[in-house]
Amino acid sequence: MMKKISLLLAVVLLLTAAPSIRAGASDFVPEGYTLDCQAAIVVNTDTGRVVFEKNADERRSIASMTKIMTAVVVLERCGDLRQAVTARQEPLSAVAGKGLSLSNLKAGETMSVENLLYCLLVYSAADAATVLADEIAGSVDAFVGMMNAKAAELGLKDTHFADPHGLSNLSDGNYSTAREMEKLCEYAMKNEVFAKIVATDRYTVPATNLSGERSLTSSNRLLLEGDPCRYDKAIGIKPGYTNDAGRCLAAAATDGSAAYISIVMGCKIWQSNGEAAVERFRDTVFLLENAFGEYSLTTVLSGSQAVTTVQVDGVDVPLVPRGDILWLLGKNETVSLQTALTQESVAGPVNRGDKLGECKILIDGTEIGSADLIAAEAVSGSVTEPEETGTPVPAKNETGAASAGRGNAIITVAVILAAALCAVAAVIIIKKKKRA
């Protein structure tokens, strides 16, 4: 069955060929660079088109990208971000001494949900994850159940969570795929609060009852001014790292005309000098620059331009789509159309907007969808004139004829009465003369 296209074509067309970075696109990514990641996907969020994928359906450990779902559940379950949360010892102990990023919350410390979310998403604090989980669900385990319920609601069949922070690995039941992580990110970024937090490079948490101010720096180096990994088009989202997951990164970017989300998983962990590897950031810039450079949103059908015509009572009526139809088109891709009319010739009347055909849209010969073709103007239809030889007169004219007949009868009666009166008058005059 052909998929319908409305104003934006939201049909996925998979491209698996490895991209090549444009010369001079980024000083951070050398020309001729090859990907380091084990799995990846890049999706244009304006249309849903996948412009690159690599092992995108392979289940993998997701490390701190887990916190994206943690934040989604908190934001949807908490009615007031100003709500004060008092940390309990149990959720803090669950992440202590495990080498995780921590905001160093203390038992009895009180912080707002909003500030805990900044700790969670900007600094990737695992203690913020467990404290929020405990507050929202009453226990970390109950909160994980909420995370999995949300995954099921979103149709993420290859995604499962075992904790709210991502320390658990694939073998522990904490995993997803590049494709499904992208879907989760796309969903999360629709929440304005989430999008604002993950776009934050630095944030100061006000002093609490047990601590002074906390200065947070984003773990997403794409956002950091002066960092060699900075990418000007980046607007979020979240890195992650464990030995099992490798270094991962979910990223969102826009150039003002198009927007993308990319996921890279299983990147190199350490450089030869012992410093943290930057390949996840380099892979991300590589993939996103290729997408912005090679693809653009293009009007493949215009709502004001006729695709074809159809005969209506001998008149050529132009057919147009219901509106402008955009598609993310590659530089070397070509568009072709195949039209089909409901009938070659149509009897009127036809209203403007009536569907009279359909148009298949093909990119390089591959059908990506179809659009209804509607009449751009109305045709009233032909009018049949009455024949002179015994053709019945329309009912409204019969009423007129009957009225005319009644009028003639009234005139005849009036004439007779007038004549009679005249006769009577004449008799009276004659009689008067005789008396005289």
365: domain CATH number? Answer: 2.60.410.10
Which stretches of 26-137 are assigned E, i.e. beta strand?
A: 39-44, 50-54, 84-86, 110-112
Output the pLDDT for position 421.
45
- The count of C-alpha atoms lying within 13 angstroms of the C-alpha of 97, restricted to the half-sphere facing its C-beta, is 2
Is the same domain home to 343 and 234?
Answer: no
Strand (E) or helix (H) holding 340: strand 335-341
Q: Which residue has tokens 């990110």?
A: 185
Q: Which amino acid is at 292?
A: F
Of 375, 396, 413, the residue at which a domain comes to its end is 375
Q: What are phi and psi of 148, to 5 degrees?
A: -70, -35
Q: For the chain, how many structural domains are there in total?
A: 2
Of 294, 319, 343, the residue at which a domain comes to its end is 294
Is the same domain home to 246 and 281?
Answer: yes
Is the residue at 256 inside a domain? yes
**In sequence order, what are the residues at sequence separation of 6 or more whose Cβ sits closer than 8 angstroms to the Cβ of residue 426?**
none
Q: Which residue has tokens 């969808």?
A: 369
Which stretches of 210-324 are assigned E, i.e. beta strand?
A: 214-217, 234-242, 246-254, 259-267, 295-301, 308-312, 315-320
Note down the domain range covering 147.
Answer: 39-294
To 10 degrees, the CA torsion angle through 102, 107, 113, 117? 0
Is the same domain home to 74 and 163?
Answer: yes
Q: Is the bond preceding 239 in cis, omega lying within 30 degrees of 0?
A: no
Is the residue at 21 inside a domain? no
Is the residue at 5 inside a domain? no
Sign of CA dihedral 90, 92, 97, 98: positive
The answer to whether the beta carbons of residues 121 and 238 sit under 8 Å apart is yes
Is the residue at 45 inside a domain? yes
pLDDT along the chain (436 residues), means of 10: 38 41 60 94 95 98 98 96 97 94 97 98 98 97 98 98 97 98 98 98 98 97 96 97 97 96 97 92 96 93 92 92 92 92 88 94 92 92 42 37 44 46 41 39
Is the same domain home to 307 and 290?
Answer: no
Is the residue at 279 inside a domain? yes
- Please give, one letter per residue, the 3-state secondary structure of 99-121: CCCCCCCCCCCEEEHHHHHHHHH
Residues labelled as active-site residues: 64, 67, 124
Is the same domain home to 308 and 266?
Answer: no
Is the same domain home to 226 and 322?
Answer: no
Output the pLDDT for position 381.
67
Is the residue at 86 inside a domain? yes
Is the same domain home to 312 and 270?
Answer: no
Q: Which residue has tokens 């005059």?
A: 429
Of 233, 265, 294, the residue at which a domain comes to its end is 294
Is the same domain home to 235 and 312?
Answer: no
52, with CB counted inside 10 A (0-12, 13-18, 19+), is: buried
Q: Which residue has tokens 């969102």?
A: 252
Is the same domain home to 184 and 78?
Answer: yes
* Distance set, CA 397 to CA 131, 176, 378, 386 (Å): 86, 78, 29, 12
